[in-house]
A and B are shown apart, each in its own frame.
Chain A
Amino acid sequence: MTATDAFSAGQSTQGFPPRPDAVEMPALSIEGVSHAYGTRRALIEIGFSVAPASFTALLGLNGAGKSTLFSLITRLFGIQHGRIGIFGHDVAQTPGEALRLLGVVFQPRTLDLDLSVTQNLLYHAALHGIGRRDARARSGEVLARIGLADRAGSKVRDLSGGQMRRLEIARALLHRPRLLLLDEATVGLDVKARADILNHVRQLVAEQGISVLWATHLFDEIGSNDDLVVLHQGRVLAQGKVARVIADAGGSDINTAFMRLTGSAAQSGSPTS
């Protein structure tokens, strides 16, 4: 099995029992969330939800507010206004319970370049209270699945960009979260690496029932059956199934629909100005 085959094969569903608290609750609920950096408003009264076991694309140009939203969901920023829930756990009130169910791949690399691949995974496991023996077993499993088993002892700085991203996704899944956030996870990768990562994440949704919020500015990463949230200049312009968003916007495809939506927003005045 090649590295790509192994990566595309997805993860087994063993060891991922359904959680009782995951039933009938949105994986992620964003309610009336606003955020400002001083006087500059980055998010304005946004609201949407991510259904369990769904792939939701968060589409927006650079500066739309995607990373700010991710920082709020992961409590890197304090929530100034509104409410964020992860499977019903309020991020502000019970951050520990909420973050336990969350896996994150941030836009910038967050791996420790001086540590080995396995050491990075063990460190992440420890941060989630996973004992060393269990962590080693899980690390071996995820590395085999992403085709990096032979690089377990390599320093992370010796990996390619695509391998680092795959490792970050594997790391985000090590503590077996129910919701996975990926912020521009394919930026800087070649076409094949992008496709591999996207396929892998879609398989996680289909096979393991993981909910995914995939932030991107690339139209070709959005599938026709995905849920879509269009974020522009800090506001949610549209949300729903991709076909519905395209139809409502009067576009022929996601590209023209996005241009129509953002063009309308521009005509009605920039909300961040």
Chain B
Amino acid sequence: MTSAAMTPIQRGFSAAEYLICLNGIVWREALRFLHQRERFISALVRPLVWLFIFAAGFRQVLGLSIIPPYETYILYEVYIAPGLMAMIQLFNGMQSSLSMVYDREMGNMRTLLVSPLPRWFLLSCKLLAGTAVSLLQVYAFLLIAWFWDIAAPPTGYLTVLPALVLSGLMLGALGMLISSGIKQLENFAGVMNFVIFPMFFASSALYPLWRILESSPMLYYVCLFNPFTHAVELIRFALYGQMNWIALAVVGGCTIAFMIGAILAYDPSRGLIRRGPAGGET
């Protein structure tokens, strides 16, 4: 065929088509999440165990001075609530990426990737869908915490929403970036241990940074360079109607960097290549 013959009509895609696609991907993720009740329950139980058991025992040990955004002395449960909200998003981000590896191996990702819309858009939609699911979990957690008298100012439940969206995107993009390097599902659990636990414990989720500085300056700097710390602080301040600009800059910058990295690194052939010679699908 000559190139002169390659002059077909090009229609392009309308904004409505993009929106329908986004809506469809978010809807599908929400459906899958609601169908997997065990996942929903475990996503709630994890932070509640920290809140009701760990924090209850730990508050007698750890003293907290008045630090922004708090204007008075607070219970330890109140302090760790934003960290646990971020933890929900951290686990959800990693779980979403785990499901992407699973979908890639099972073949479901092909349904998504043969869509005519641009691949960067499809992957961004997946991230947004994962973030939307994490919001459901976080607000369910906040509701239970509210019954436990761990309440933020009423407007805080609204002002925290943009912070949760941004941190959810950052952690989801990080998960997607990690999943791009995973060749097979079996490798994912090990990677989770090297990401989730270090990120969570080396942050301000469980203890304020000044406390860490007192005990270990080196660990303090590790925490300071941990983007999860800034996600926690962004959520903490937003929950009280305040803005932590440094946290916003770090989380925003990391979100962009992780998203670009994840989209560039995503290779749909990775799972297929592995299956090829062994499974006969070549």
Residues of chain A at the chain B interface (Cβ within 8 Å): 19-21, 24-26, 29, 31, 37, 40, 42, 49, 62-68, 71, 74-78, 85, 87-90, 94-100, 102, 104, 106-112, 114-115, 119, 122-132
Least Cβ–Cβ distance between A2 and chain B, in angstroms: 29
B11 touches A97 (CB 8 A): yes
A235 vs chain B, min Cβ distance (A):
14
In whole angstroms, how far apart are the Cα atoms of A64 and B268 in the complex? 21
Most-contacted residue by chain B among A49, A102, A119 (CB, 10 A): A119
Are B1 and A96 interface neighbours, CB within 8 A?
no
Q: B24 and A126: CB pair below 8 A?
A: yes
Instruction: Judge whether B25 is part of the interface by a CB distance below 8 angstroms.
Output: yes
Distance A77 CA – B266 CA, assembled complex (angstroms) = 11
Residues of B within 8 A of A128 (CB): 17, 21, 115-116
A26 and B281: CB pair below 8 A? no
Indicate whether B243 reaches chain A with its CB closer than 8 angstroms: no
B residues 27-61 touching A (CB-CB < 8 Å): 27-28, 31-32, 35-36
Query: Interface range on chain B: under 10, 10 to 19, 20 to 34, or 35 or more?
Result: 35 or more
C-alpha gap A130/B32 in the complex (Å): 21
Name the residue of chain A whose CB is nearest to the CB of B23.
Answer: A126
Residues of A within 8 A of B112 (CB): 127
For B28, give the chain A residue with the smallest CB separation. Answer: A123
- Chain B residue at smallest Cβ distance from A104: B114
The contact of B117 among A66, A94, A96, A123, by CB within 8 Å, is: A96
Instruction: Assess whether B189 is interfacial by the CB under 8 Å rule.
Output: no
Q: What are 7 inter-chain pairs, A to B, with CB distance below 8 A?
A: A21-B9, A25-B1, A25-B5, A67-B276, A74-B114, A96-B117, A98-B116
With the chains together, A78 CA to B266 CA distance in Å?
12
Chain B residues in contact with chain A, CB under 8 A?
1, 5-14, 16-18, 20-21, 23-25, 27-28, 31-32, 35-36, 106-108, 110-118, 122, 268-269, 272-273, 276-277, 280-282
Can you name the residue of chain B whose Cβ is closest to the Cβ of A73? B114
CB distance from A159 to the nearest CB of B (A): 16
Q: How far is the CB of A185 from chain B (nearest CB, A)?
A: 13
> Which residues from B are CB-within-8-Å of A29?
1
| A90 CB, min distance to chain B CBs, angstroms | 6
Q: Measured between C-beta atoms, what is the minimum distance from B37 to chain A in Å? A: 12
Indicate if the CB atoms of B106 and A129 lie closer than 8 Å: no
Instruction: Return B274 CB to nearest CB of chain A, in Å.
Output: 10
Residues of chain A lying within 8 A (CB to CB) of residue B20: 126, 129-132
- CB contacts (< 8 Å) of B282 on chain A: these are 42, 62-68
Residues of B within 8 A of A66 (CB): 282
Known pairs A62-B280, A114-B32; A21 contacts B272 (CB<8 A): no
Q: Which residues of A contact B111 (CB under 8 A)?
A: 110-112, 123-124, 127
- By a CB distance below 8 angstroms, the chain A residues around B10 are 89, 94, 97
- Give the nearest-CB partner of B121 in chain A: A96
Q: How far is the CB of B276 from chain A (nearest CB, A)?
A: 7
Most chain A Cβ neighbours within 10 Å, of B16, B112, B117: B117
Of the candidates B8, B113, B115, the one whose C-beta lies within 8 Å of that of A88 is: B8
- CA separation between A37 and B36, bound complex, in Å? 37
Let me know if A25 and B32 touch, CB within 8 A: no
Distance in angstroms from A249 CB to nearest chain B CB is 24
Q: Given A88-B5, A129-B14, is A100 in contact with B35 using a C-beta cutoff of 8 Å?
A: no
**A77 contacts B269, C-beta separation under 8 Å:** yes
Q: With a CB–CB cut-off of 8 A, which chain B residues contact A129? A: 13-14, 16-18, 20-21, 116-117
Chain B neighbourhood of A122, CB < 8 A: 24, 27
Output the nearest chain A residue to B36 by Cβ-Cβ distance. A114
Residues of A within 8 A of B1 (CB): 25-26, 29, 31, 49, 85
Question: What are the residues of chain B within 8 A of A115 when measuring CB–CB?
Answer: 28, 31-32, 35
The reply to whether A123 and B116 contact each other, CB–CB distance below 8 Å, is no
User: Which residue, of A63, A104, A110, A125, has the highest number of chain B Cβ atoms within 10 A?
Assistant: A110
B34 to chain A, nearest CB (A): 10
